[in-house]
Structures are given as C-alpha cells and as structure tokens.
Amino acid sequence: MPLSREEVGKGLTVELENFERLVRSLSPEEFQRRSRCEGWSVADVAAHMIGTMADITQGRIEGQGTPEVTNRQVDERRGRTAEELADELRQAGEIAPGLLATFDDDAWAGPSPGGYDFTLGEAVEALWYDAYVHADDIRAAIGRKSEGGDGLKASVSHVADLLTRKGWGPATLALDGLPEFRIGVGNGDGHRIEGDALSFVLAATGRAEPGTLGLTADVNVYA
C-alpha cells in the first residue's frame, strides 16, 4: 500500500526542492563524474529525473520509464549546465503541487494515467522514490553523505510494492527507524528483514550486493 495522499503530495514537493538544490550546488567537474547508473554521468542522472518531471507536468505521460523515453530525456538535455537543469526543475516543481491538488481521494485510488499498472497514488509515490534514489546516486558519485528522512521511507514503501507485484515474499520489512512494511500476499508475515533501510533499497534496486542483508539476487526489482 502506498503512503497517504497528504504525505506523498507534501513529500514529493519537498524532495523536488531538495533535488533542485543538490543539482544547483554541483561544480562543473562534479556534474561530469561517472555515476553508479551504468553508462550515465551525474549530468545524465539529473537530466533523466528532471526530464521526467518536466514531461509529466506538461502532460507527456505515455512511455515514462521505458528506455526510449528515458534516453530522450537525457539526449534533449545534453550539454546543459547544472544551473540550467535546476531552473527547469524549479519550473516543473512549481506546477506539480497544483496538479496534485486537482485529484480527490477517488482519483488518487483510481488508475494512473498512461495505462500503467499502478493507482495514481502509487505512481506519484514512485516519482518521490525516483527523486530520492537518483539524488543518492548523485551524492554517491561526488562523495557526499547519503540522506535519510521521508524520502527513504517512501522508497522502502515503493520497493515493497514492486516486490509484491513481482511475487517476492511474503516478508516483513522491519528496517531501522521506519515503520514495518509487508511484502507479498496471503497468510503469515514470512521472513523478517532487518537492518539499514538505505542498504535494503540499494540492494533491491541493483545498486548494492544483497548478501550484506542476507538476501539473494532475486530481491532486485529490476532483474
């Protein structure tokens, strides 16, 4: 289950503001560093994330998350500076809260536009997750410390949903500093996964080895 409508709406807005500040703070050298996302520089990571928000606030919903759209987002912004990308995100971030305010509870629980297998609420939570994880990709590339907070909770919530859809589990996530999340359907809580929440998110998205948490490669939501 996604987090509440109020929490997700506020959380996404704050996460986008944080992402903008992060990108704006990057030096030209940092902007070109290689990231842990295969084949992507920090600039490419920022271009994808900012391109996603620009697309969505302009009504370009179809194909989000596909290689074709992701590559277009990066290619369209190639050569732009960090400051220029941060400015673009500020524009999208100013539009997003107004768009979210147009949806009532029934729409939030209804299907997401674009034909995705998510509710609208789950899709918006996925955007929050994407902003948080890609911000961590950038921090890792330039040697800055990871951050926790509500974005990490949203990421665990989203990963739990993806693992349930994948048929993984049942399991209970009892990660440090967060409420518990259930994975899977049916009776019983399954095995209990404890430890660092960010380490779990990184392992479950193919960014870190899962063995440190006693997990195997099938925990990767993208595998």
Q: What are phi and psi of 113, to 5 degrees?
A: -60, 155
Contacts of 102 (CB under 8 A, 6+ apart): none
Reported as a single tens digit per residue, the pLDDT across 92-139 is 999 999 999 999 999 999 999 888 889 999 999 999 999 999 999 999
**Containing structural domain, residue 177:** 150-219
What pTM was computed for the model? 0.94
Helix ranges (H only) for the chain are: 5-24, 28-31, 42-57, 67-76, 82-101, 105-109, 120-142, 150-166, 197-204
Say yes or no: 84 and 20 in one domain: yes
What CATH number is attached to the domain comprising 181? Answer: 3.30.1050.20
pLDDT at 71 over 90: yes
Q: Same domain for 24 and 99? A: yes
User: Quick one: pLDDT at residue 2?
Assistant: 62
- Which of 95, 110, 142 is the last residue in one of the domains? 142
